[in-house]
């Protein structure tokens, strides 16, 4: 949920040794979420200059990161 709108995005987990990234397709733009030292997720836009990346609001990225953190930490 972001601004009272439910969103659903395609995701994929990319394993890299002992760590991982979660790739999320947000309105046609691939965004990687990777855990930091405190196991919180940070967003990395693969192509920040892409026209579709301007549609992505920072609040939406934060909402996705918060959701991922809740899902991972609840396990």
Per-residue pLDDT tens over the stretch 56-74: 889 999 999 999 999 887 7
Residue 2 within any structural domain of the chain: no
DSSP class per residue in 28-57: TEEEEEEE-TTS-EEEEES-TTSGGGGG--
| Euclidean distance between CA atoms 19 and 28, whole angstroms | 25
Instruction: Please tell me the predicted confidence (pLDDT) of residue 52.
Output: 67
Residue 3 within any structural domain of the chain: no
Residue 5 within any structural domain of the chain: no
Q: How many domains does the chain have?
A: 1
- Domain of 24, in residue numbers: 10-73
Q: What pTM did the predictor assign?
A: 0.85
Give 15-56 pLDDT, tens digit per residue.
989 889 999 999 888 999 999 888 899 999 877 777 766 778
Residue 18 within any structural domain of the chain: yes
Residue 29 within any structural domain of the chain: yes
Residue 4 within any structural domain of the chain: no
């Amino acid at each position: 949920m972001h601004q009272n709108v439910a969103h659903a995005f395609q995701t994929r987990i990319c394993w890299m040794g002992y760590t991982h990234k979660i790739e999320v397709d947000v309105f046609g733009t691939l965004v990687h979420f990777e855990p930091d030292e405190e196991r919180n997720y940070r967003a990395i836009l693969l192509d920040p200059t892409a026209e579709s990346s301007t549609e992505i609001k920072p609040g939406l990225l934060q909402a996705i990161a918060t959701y991922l953190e809740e899902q991972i930490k609840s396990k």
